[in-house]
A and B are shown apart, each in its own frame.
Chain A
Amino acid sequence: MYNVMIVEDDPMARRLLEIMVTSDESYHLAVSVESASVAEVYCMTEAIDLILMDVCTALHASGLDAAIKIKKLFPQIRIIIITSLLECSFIERAREGGVDSFWYKDPFENKLLDIMNRTMMGESIYPDQSPTSNMGLATSSEFTERELDVLRELISGDTDEMIAERLNLSVHTIKKHVKSMFQKTGCTTRTQLAVMALESGIVVRGI
């Protein structure tokens, strides 16, 4: 029987996961918490075999960062990232950080059970690609990596100078990327672009 830790801040989603885990004899629910910031301390004190980790958790703690850190400290613990966010950098970061599997939340819990079983068998399961979403006239797959970096900073509401400093680019380059995104999406102002990005979930900041 595998000891499972659930890290999910949405109480209803956490409850669903708890029910799913406890309904299968192969798994035992060891810990269920709302914030990824406490996951590490439980890994030190409990015998955890598998973590179902949400990305955006309570106390603004990044489940992705916590998962990558836990994999370094406890490589034997399997981790499955669970998210409904479409931010495309999550998959790459999880893969590079050594996270075992990645799952986009969908209505089919049986599918998650299947992923859990295969992960515990040593398989690494990732979606072929992030789901696409529409942003104005464009889809998320039409943006370059750099444009997404700029868009991610744009939703902070900071000036081009501050964004350029954070991304180590020139202000001119930032403006160039913003202009390109205007053309792709049909947006005419930065605010419109930022609002659209927030609503689509194509980029998430601070995780």
Chain B
Amino acid sequence: MSGFGDFGTIVQSVDLIFMFLNWATSLFVVIGVLMARGKRMMRDLLMALLLFAVDSWFLLLFTGGVDMDFPKAWVLMPIVLAVFMSMKTDLYTAQSRNQKISRFSIQESTNKFPIGLCFSRLDGHPYLVNARMDELSYRIADQPVMNANEFFAQVQAGNREGICRTERDGIPLLRFPDGRTWSFQKELLKTDGEEILQIVAIDTTELELLLEKRRNENRELEEINHRLQEYGTSVESLATAKEWLDTKMRIHDTIGQNLMVTKYLFYDKGDEARREAIRENWKRTVRMLQYDEDVVEPDDGMKYFLDAARKVGVAVRLDGSIPKTPSVRELIAASGIQMLTNAVRHADARELWVIIEDEPMNYRMLFYNEVKEEAKVGSGNVVEGGGLSGLRKKVEELGGIMSVASGEYFQVEIIMPKGGRDYV
């Protein structure tokens, strides 16, 4: 290079290094655009290739012995190269930005979510809390989420004035003064070998309203069902009363017919067979009329049990007093009759013991009878037939427990809670 001198040599050397770096950068940008495959890739690739071509030409120009005047070319060169470097950097950065998500962009995106989000370390130190969760935190604790564990503990407590706390399936629900209900779920996530706590808050107001509506409807249905069951019972009584009335009407009609026939026979002797027939009709009718006066209400179930035991020659040894509750009395009668049947059939027993204990929360009833020698089995070998299994079903429908055992004695124990369901 002519007229360069020592200074010119130093500048030339620096420029050459700079030029070479520039050329290398161009190549790097071309490769980067190709690998990034970002938007507008073809356009950016053409730009990168053009810059690379220009840099390559400059490098060849200043190393290839092209003669140019110093200092113009050498002074201008750095400026030109710097501009080109800047363009390439922008190009590469634009491509890279398309492929990378920054912390800020994540935060920005999550702030737009309608749900509350909080990710933290296990000790509660937050990694990410979106705006919705911070807003909820202000309403619960007057501050943003500083520690996820402490925040969730405050949610669990839910003792802020104006906030009503409930729970569904173990998930805390907070109803705020504005009427909205939020659920808060805490979960442990495992990712890339690290454990992260996640808290999610969801507005469940509409769901809670629907659930409340369904609960109310179910309560109404239960009441209707209960009334239906009561109605079923009253219909049975009505049917019985109707039968009774039908029978009385039948008797009334029979008396009417008898009177007509009797009147006829006064005037026409007729044959003896007819007279005998009408006499028998009157006898039956009179017997019915006599009984009619004595008709009483159906007996208590205990009477059926005790009468049956007496008539078949089995002595009932009763210890304790029989409760006044109708359903319990009926159960004792039904159980006693079943035990009586088993005692006569299997044991040829002459005695049946019935012990009734009135405990604070339960009635405890024990029935037992002696067992024939050849029929003595271990308690694990009792096979419940139709009678005992039917009795067990009745007991369990009333909310009670029944146990059966056999050894020296055959025994059935029934525990019936007080205030249980009505007998069905």
Q: Would you call the interface of chain B mostly helix, strand, loop, or mixed?
A: helix
C-alpha gap A134/B291 in the complex (Å): 35
Which among A10, A65, A105, A201 has the greatest number of chain B C-beta atoms within 10 A? A10
B287 touching A35, Cβ below 8 Å: no
A interface footprint on B161-198 (CB within 8 Å = 1, 0 otherwise): 00000000000000000000000000000000000000
B4 at the A interface (CB under 8 A): no
A59 touching B299, Cβ below 8 Å: no
* A-side contacts of B298, CB under 8 Å: 9, 11, 34, 58
* B-side contacts of A107, CB under 8 Å: 246, 250, 253
- Assuming the A-B contacts A44-B344, A157-B228, are A15 and B313 also in contact, with contact meaning beta carbons closer than 8 angstroms in the complex? no
Q: Give the contacting residue for A45; candidates B221, B333, B334, B344; CB below 8 A.
A: B344
A32 smallest CB distance to B (angstroms): 11
B232 touching A198, Cβ below 8 Å: yes
Q: Give the contacting residue for A191; candidates B228, B312, B338; CB below 8 A.
A: B228
B330 touching A59, Cβ below 8 Å: yes
Residue of A nearest to B280 (CB): A23
* A-side contacts of B311, CB under 8 Å: 31, 42, 45
* B-side contacts of A13, CB under 8 Å: 243-244, 247
Residue of B nearest to A22 (CB): B287
Residue of A nearest to B221 (CB): A159
B270 at the A interface (CB under 8 A): no
A19 touching B334, Cβ below 8 Å: no
Q: Give the contacting residue for A59; candidates B243, B312, B334; CB below 8 A.
A: B334
A37 touching B299, Cβ below 8 Å: no
* B-side contacts of A23, CB under 8 Å: 280, 284
- Assuming the A-B contacts A12-B295, A156-B229, are A38 and B247 also in contact, with contact meaning beta carbons closer than 8 angstroms in the complex? no
B228 touching A41, Cβ below 8 Å: no
> Which residues in window 222-245 of B have CB below 8 A to A?
224-226, 228-229, 231-232, 235-236, 239-240, 243-244
* A-side contacts of B239, CB under 8 Å: 84-85, 201
B301 touching A35, Cβ below 8 Å: yes
Q: Give the contacting residue for B284; candidates A19, A105, A191; CB below 8 A.
A: A19
How many B residues, CB 8 Å from partner?
Answer: 50
A158 at the B interface (CB under 8 A): yes
> Which residues in window 390-424 of B have CB below 8 A to A?
390, 423-424
B253 touching A58, Cβ below 8 Å: no
A12 touching B248, Cβ below 8 Å: yes
B337 touching A34, Cβ below 8 Å: no
Q: Give the contacting residue for A16; candidates B253, B288, B387; CB below 8 A.
A: B288
A1 smallest CB distance to B (angstroms): 18
Q: Give the contacting residue for A206; candidates B224, B246, B424; CB below 8 A.
A: B424
* B-side contacts of A35, CB under 8 Å: 301, 304, 337
A60 at the B interface (CB under 8 A): yes
C-alpha gap A60/B329 in the complex (Å): 13
C-alpha gap A65/B387 in the complex (Å): 10
B12 at the A interface (CB under 8 A): no
A interface footprint on B294-308 (CB within 8 Å = 1, 0 otherwise): 011011010011001
A115 at the B interface (CB under 8 A): no
- Assuming the A-B contacts A12-B292, A35-B301, A199-B235, are A157 and B229 also in contact, with contact meaning beta carbons closer than 8 angstroms in the complex? yes
> Which residues in window 181-207 of A have CB below 8 A to B?
191, 194-195, 198-199, 201, 205-206
A59 touching B333, Cβ below 8 Å: yes
* B-side contacts of A201, CB under 8 Å: 239
B365 at the A interface (CB under 8 A): no
A interface footprint on B9-53 (CB within 8 Å = 1, 0 otherwise): 000000000000000000000000000000000000000000000
C-alpha gap A201/B236 in the complex (Å): 9
A40 at the B interface (CB under 8 A): yes
B56 at the A interface (CB under 8 A): no
C-alpha gap A19/B411 in the complex (Å): 41
A74 smallest CB distance to B (angstroms): 11
B287 touching A19, Cβ below 8 Å: yes
* A-side contacts of B253, CB under 8 Å: 107
A45 touching B228, Cβ below 8 Å: no
Q: Give the contacting residue for A69; candidates B224, B304, B386; CB below 8 A.
A: B386
A41 touching B344, Cβ below 8 Å: yes
> Which residues in window 261-294 of B have CB below 8 A to A?
280, 284, 287-288, 291-292
> Which residues in window 200-230 of B have CB below 8 A to A?
221, 224-226, 228-229
A interface footprint on B330-360 (CB within 8 Å = 1, 0 otherwise): 1001100110110011000000000000000
C-alpha gap A5/B234 in the complex (Å): 29
A155 at the B interface (CB under 8 A): yes
C-alpha gap A38/B299 in the complex (Å): 14
> Which residues in window 148-171 of A have CB below 8 A to B?
155-159
* B-side contacts of A38, CB under 8 Å: 304-305, 308, 337, 340-341
Which among A15, A84, A201 has the greatest number of chain B C-beta atoms within 10 A? A15
- Assuming the A-B contacts A107-B250, A159-B221, are A34 and B228 also in contact, with contact meaning beta carbons closer than 8 angstroms in the complex? no
Q: Give the contacting residue for B304; candidates A34, A45, A157, A158; CB below 8 A.
A: A34
B90 smallest CB distance to A (angstroms): 66
C-alpha gap A158/B330 in the complex (Å): 23
> Which residues in window 131-189 of B have CB below 8 A to A?
none
C-alpha gap A42/B299 in the complex (Å): 19
Which among B226, B312, B341 has the greatest number of chain A C-beta atoms within 10 A? B341
Extra contacts, 4 of them, besides A37-B304, A38-B304 (Cβ < 8 A), are: A11-B296, A38-B341, A41-B344, A157-B229
Q: State the B residues within 8 Å of A (CB).
A: 221, 224-226, 228-229, 231-232, 235-236, 239-240, 243-244, 246-248, 250, 253, 280, 284, 287-288, 291-292, 295-296, 298-299, 301, 304-305, 308, 311-313, 330, 333-334, 337-338, 340-341, 344-345, 386-387, 390, 423-424
User: What are 8 inter-chain pairs, A to B, with CB distance below 8 A?
Assistant: A12-B247, A19-B288, A33-B308, A37-B334, A58-B299, A59-B304, A85-B239, A198-B235
